[in-house]
Amino acid sequence: MAKSNNAENTLSIDWDSIIATIKSGKCVLLIGPEILSDAYSSFQDKLLDFLKESLSLESATHFAAYYRRHELFDFTDETEHGLVYQKLKQFYGNLEDNSLFQKLASIAIPLTISLNPDDLLCTAFKAYRHHFQFYSRKPMPDNTDEAPGLEFPWLYNLFGTLERQETLILTYDDLLNYIFSLLGKSPDLPGPIKNALGEAENFLFLGFRFEQWYMQLIVRILTMQGENKGKIKYAFDKARYQEDTFLFYTDHFKVRFLDMTPVEFIDQLYERCKAKNLLRQPLELSEQLHIREQLEKLFEDDDLEAALNVMKKYFKDQGEAAEDDYEECIVQTGRLRNLARNEREGVLTFDDVQIQRSRIRKACRELIKQLER
């Protein structure tokens, strides 16, 4: 086996370079499933054990084939797909938020791309009341001039989100079709993300399963946007990879593998960013109070449509993470306008108008509670 020419690069990390690219907005964080591993077992083993128990994957009567080597399913019908989807939601729903994601949410990296379908990082951003934008691979976001930045970071679930079953990559067809869509001169990625990847100078791979054959294509697609000269790529937990995997990525993609675990790296990066004043500050409580006070005043004046407009703007700024709340605002606005029209036309009695208006007020109160999530 050929010996890597970059072996000397695998044992050190240029912290100054990482901090500089974070400060300039040219650092990209890439998260894989093994960021959720612990000292006792890999994340993939935990997931497989759960699926074995809940779906009887190894029994003679199992209904869905699961290929462990590639971590993909083969379904015979939509019912099987739906059952696996529900079990995956159950598994990820039982994962606990932890300090790792809280720290990641605080570090001022403009673009984070995750291969995981969970919303743990998204939840951490909301807990800190950071402004951010969340997207998954489908549907593609509308055209926007708001590019990923230090003050307005993007979170992008490359392999879909559990919130939308149709976005998940569970089968060979799902995977191959998606990879084909990413290949070529115009990858199926949002424009702002392609631009950010092209301008990036530093890539941090945390918890990636590099041994998977398709990961070579994913790494190439993500790191080969724009000019490739001078881009620095770090990966972690070197000991978990077989030598041929380690050497391939070191030689071909110039990835620098480090002995430290993702958790150790994030802990150190957090402290260094804290020392350089590069941690995001939570949305000021006064701003939250201002929104609440504004809504309370509008409720006092019984101006429900204005209150809904305030909430619509707030939820729209949160992106896909608050899409359901944003759509609920639109629904309630429509109900309110229909009620006003029916009242003008005399279609409803006074009591009917008051009952329906009370229901809309109650729905608005429930939406206000979502501001505190």
**Does residue 234 surpass a pLDDT of 90?**
yes
pTM over 0.85: no
Nearest to 206 by CA among 32, 359, 326: 32
pLDDT-derived band at 323, boundaries 50, 70, 90 = confident
Residue 306 confidence (pLDDT) above 90: no
In this prediction, what percent of the chain has a pLDDT beyond 90? 30
Instruction: Please say if the pLDDT value at position 145 is more than 70.
Output: no
Confidence of residue 197 (pLDDT cuts 50, 70, 90): very high
Q: How confident is the model at residue 175 (pLDDT cuts 50, 70, 90)?
A: very high
C-alpha angle 218/223/225, rounded to 5°? 105
The pLDDT confidence band at residue 144, using thresholds 50, 70 and 90, is: low
Q: What is the pLDDT of residue 114?
A: 94
The model's confidence at residue 305, banded by pLDDT at 50, 70 and 90, is confident
In the β-sheet with 133-136, what is the strand arrangement from edge to edge?
133-136, 154-157, 111-114, 27-31, 202-206, 232-235, 255-257
Q: Give per-residue pLDDT as tens, 48-62.
A: 888 888 877 554 445
Average of per-residue pLDDT values in the chain: 83
Lowest mean pLDDT among 36-40, 63-67, 118-122: 63-67
> Tell me: the pLDDT tens digits for 155-173?
999 999 998 899 999 999 9
pLDDT at 8: 40
Counting residues of the chain whose pLDDT is more than 70, the rounded percentage is: 86
Give the model's confidence band at 107: pLDDT under 50 very low, under 70 low, under 90 confident, else very high: very high
User: Yes or no: is domain 7-48+94-275 CATH 3.40.47.10?
Assistant: no
Beta bridge partners of 67: 72
Domains of the chain by residue range:
7-48+94-275, 285-372
pLDDT at position 340 is 83
pLDDT of 60 reads 40
Of 15-24, 113-122, 175-184, 340-349, the poorest mean pLDDT is in: 340-349
Q: Which residues of 199-215 are buried (b: 16+ CB within 10 A; e: fewer)?
A: bbbbbbbbbbbbebeeb
Phi-psi region of 109 (alpha: psi -120 to 50; beta: other; left: phi over 0): beta
pLDDT recorded at residue 5: 44
Q: Per-residue confidence at 131, pLDDT binned at 50, 70, 90?
A: low
One-letter-per-residue 3-state SS of the chain:
CCCCCCHHHCCCCCHHHHHHHHHCCCEEEEECHHHHCCCCCCHHHHHHHHHHHHHCCCCCCCCCEEECCCCEEECCCHHHHHHHHHHHHHHHHCCCCCHHHHHHHHECCCEEEECCCCCHHHHHHHHCCCCCEEEECCCCCCCCCCCCCCCCCEEEECCCCCCCHHHCCCEHHHHHHHHHHHCCCCCCCCHHHHHHHHHCCEEEEECCCCCCCCHHHHHHHHHCCCCCCCCEEEECCHHHCCHHHHHHHHHHCCEEECCCCHHHHHHHHHHHHHHCCCECCCCCHHHHHHHHHHHHHHHHCCCHHHHHHHHHHHHHHCHHHHHHHHHHHHHHHHHHHHHHHHHHCCCCCHHHHHHHHHHHHHHHHHHHHHHHC
pLDDT at residue 3, as a whole number: 45
pLDDT at residue number 170: 92
